[in-house]
Amino acid sequence: MLWTPAFTGVTKSERGMRASQKLSEIAKTIRSKNAGVDKITFDVIFADRAAYDRVRESGVLSRKAVCRLFGIGTAQLTDHVEFDPALAIKFTIYRRVPSGSPGDADIFGSQQHGPLLDIAVPGD
């Protein structure tokens, strides 16, 4: 049998490779909030350039990935910005119902970021 690291019991980090991590373990801030009565904006902010670059380059918060995660069409994603000076990825989506209207379960939009927390960000 050929020797491979998979059979040695050596972890990825011990071989110089990072295992995947949850976005909530990498980002400094993950939040959502109202952006008017018909939109919710999301901010994912990082403490350092390496973490920001890792997430940005992985594509886990790309326009397509965000639409898939929230189960929306591309027309419902109004903005998507990778803002290098702030080490932040920001995006805005249309609400399913206007803020404060019947059926709105989160008037401030502050509880909508939950699906972002457990996103698996690949290691190196």
What is the DSSP secondary-structure string of 29-45? EEEEEESSTTEEEEEEE
Structure tokens at 45: 């902010």
Give the model confidence (pLDDT) of 57-103 as tens digits. Answer: 999 999 999 999 999 999 999 999 999 999 999 999 999 999 999 99
Whole-prediction pTM value?
Answer: 0.83
Q: How far apart are CA 98 and CA 103, in angstroms?
A: 9
Domain boundaries, the chain: 18-121
Q: How far apart are CA 89 and CA 80, in angstroms?
A: 8
